[in-house]
């Protein structure tokens, strides 16, 4: 009987020791977990954002006189060209690409078939490797337009009809076409491709030569057009940039691309007065030359060229 009690006592002691060991191990694990969690970098406790910046975004409004040309680069290799001015001024566009060592263009947007926007695109397609061209589906009898269509066909460049709702990626930037509507039948200016480029916290709205009619269509469709930078439509003409449209875009910067002492009187005083009314920083290529915006996706800065 004494021996049985002794064995029971030993078993109880072993059980108590095991319980103590497991308890100490549990406490030690808890202490280590708290220590590791508290010592980890602060960002490790945050969920990474779904969208992250993919390099640097450059949006350069090239001085091509009385015309439009905008070069967009995102990251290392992604390039978009929106218009290329008149053929006689295309060298300014080619020089800009050559200075940056660009030999290929992923996307060209031909906003509408007017020579001061598409005149230089033919030569750009001849000189650079081009992935695809976005252009509204409309006809024109002009020689400039026919030359462009021939160049696209001869170089086997993919031609995509540009209409509202179409979207594509350029590096880390999302590009959405908000006008023209596919079924609308309108004049060339109101057929202009309007494109919103969204790069995290930096947004740009490009408007071609769109007039108030097209702006109202975009407003009525309810597209997101709030942007930091607005490319003022039609070189600052009073036919575009209505107050309602400007209130929807709420830009910090307005860019006007036009020629020195041009015969159209662009930009018109009505447009300049409206931009001034809302305290928008207005930059003009006829006065400043090239205007280059740089963004890492969160911070936007502007550099003035020659």
Do residue 34 and residue 123 come from a single domain?
no
Q: Is the domain of 148 the same as that of 83?
A: yes
By the 8 A CB rule, do 119 and 68 touch?
no
Asked which of 16-20, 49-53, 282-286 is least confident by mean pLDDT, the reply is: 49-53
Q: Do residues 78 and 187 share a domain?
A: yes
Up-side HSE of residue 100: CA atoms within 13 Å toward CB?
Answer: 20
Q: Tell me whether residue 177 is in a domain.
A: yes
**What CA–CA distance (Å, rounded) separates 147 from 209?**
21
pLDDT of res. 306: 58
Q: Domain with 202 in it: what CATH number?
A: 3.60.15.10
Structurally, the chain folds into a number of domains equal to: 2
Instruction: Examine the pLDDT at 190 and tell me if it is beyond 60.
Output: yes
At residue 26, the pLDDT reads: 52
* β-pair type (194-199, 202-206): antiparallel
138 by Cβ neighbours in 10 Å (0-12 / 13-18 / 19+) ranks as: middle
Residue 165: inside a domain: yes
Q: Which residues 6+ apart lie within 8 Å of 16 measured at CB?
A: none
Q: Which residues contact 303 (CB under 8 A, 6 or more apart)?
A: 291, 292, 293, 294
Residue 121 belongs to a domain: yes
Residues 18 and 108 occupy one common structural domain:
no
Instruction: Provide the residue range defining the domain that includes 262.
Output: 57-304
pLDDT of residue 217: 95
Its pTM stands at: 0.82
Q: Are residues 142 and 282 both part of a single domain?
A: yes
Instruction: Over range 8-24, report the average pLDDT.
Output: 45
Q: Is residue 52 part of a domain?
A: no
**Mean pLDDT of all residues belonging to the chain:** 86
CA distance linking residue 297 with residue 285, whole number of Å: 24
Residue 170 within a domain: yes
Residues 37 and 62 reside in one and the same domain: no
Query: In this structure, what are the phi and psi dihedrals at residue 245, rounded to the nearest 5 degrees?
Result: -65, -45
Cβ proximity of 184 and 213 under 8 Å? no
DSSP 268: P
Q: Tokens 């305290």 belong to which residue?
A: 279
**N-term to C-term CA, the chain:** 107
Q: How far apart are CA 233 and CA 239, in angstroms?
A: 9
Q: Which two tokens stand for residue 14?
A: 């072993």
Encode pLDDT of 21-68 as tens digits: 445 455 444 444 434 444 333 332 222 233 344 579 999 999 999 999
Same domain, 25 and 125: no
Same domain, 165 and 268: yes
The pLDDT score that the predictor gives to residue 182 is: 81
Query: Any idea which of 14-18, 111-115, 137-141 has the lowest mean pLDDT?
Result: 14-18
Cis peptide before 118 (omega within 30 of 0): no
Q: Same domain for 41 and 127?
A: no
Residue 176, pLDDT above cutoff 90? yes
What pLDDT was estimated at residue 145?
A: 95
> How do residues 75-94 score in pLDDT, each as one tens digit?
878 999 999 999 999 999 99
Residues 158 and 36 in one domain: no
Closest CA to 74 of 112, 111, 102: 102
Residues 204 and 61 in one domain: yes
133: Cβ–Cβ under 8 A, 6 or more apart, which residues? 107, 108, 109, 110, 121, 125, 152, 157, 158, 159, 160
Cβ-based neighbour number of residue 289 at 10 Å: 14
Q: Which two tokens stand for residue 68?
A: 């439009």
For residue 17, is it within any domain?
A: yes
Residue 51 lies in a domain: no
**Domain presence at residue 50:** no
41 and 62 part of one domain: no
Q: How many CB atoms are closer than 10 A to CB 189?
A: 20
pLDDT at position 274 over 90: yes
The pLDDT assigned to 184 comes to 60
> Would the CA dihedral through 38, 41, 44, 46 be positive or negative?
positive
Placement of tokens 């007039």 in the chain: 211
Whether the CB-CB separation of 125 and 154 falls below 8 Å is answered with no
């Amino acid at each position: 009987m004494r021996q049985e009690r002794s064995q029971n006592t030993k078993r109880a002691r072993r059980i108590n020791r095991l319980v103590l060991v497991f308890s100490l191990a549990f406490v030690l694990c808890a202490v280590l977990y708290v220590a590791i969690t508290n010592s980890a970098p602060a960002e490790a406790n945050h969920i990474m954002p779904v969208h992250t910046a993919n390099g640097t975004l450059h949006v350069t409004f090239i001085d091509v006189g009385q015309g439009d040309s905008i070069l967009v680069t995102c990251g290392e290799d992604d390039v978009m060209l929106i218009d290329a001015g008149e053929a006689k001024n295309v060298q300014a566009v080619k020089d800009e690409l050559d200075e940056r060592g660009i030999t290929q263009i992923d996307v060209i947007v031909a906003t509408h078939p007017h020579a001061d926007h598409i005149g230089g695109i033919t030569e750009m397609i001849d000189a650079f490797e081009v992935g695809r061209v976005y252009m509204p589906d409309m006809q024109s009898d002009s020689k400039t337009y026919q030359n462009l269509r021939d160049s696209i066909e001869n170089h086997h460049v993919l031609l995509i009809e540009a209409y509202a709702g179409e979207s594509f990626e350029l590096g880390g930037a999302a590009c959405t076409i908000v006008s023209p509507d596919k079924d609308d039948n309108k004049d060339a200016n109101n057929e202009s491709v309007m494109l919103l480029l969204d790069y995290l916290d930096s947004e740009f709205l490009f408007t071609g030569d769109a007039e108030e009619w097209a702006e109202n269509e975009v407003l009525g469709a309810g597209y997101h057009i709030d942007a930091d930078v607005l490319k003022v439509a039609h070189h600052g003409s009073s036919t575009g940039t209505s107050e309602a449209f400007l209130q929807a875009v709420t830009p910090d910067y307005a860019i006007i691309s036009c020629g020195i002492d041009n015969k159209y009187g662009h930009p018109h005083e009505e447009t300049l007065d409206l931009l001034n009314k809302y305290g928008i920083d207005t930059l003009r290529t006829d006065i400043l030359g090239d205007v280059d915006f740089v963004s890492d996706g969160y911070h936007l800065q502007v550099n003035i060229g020659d």
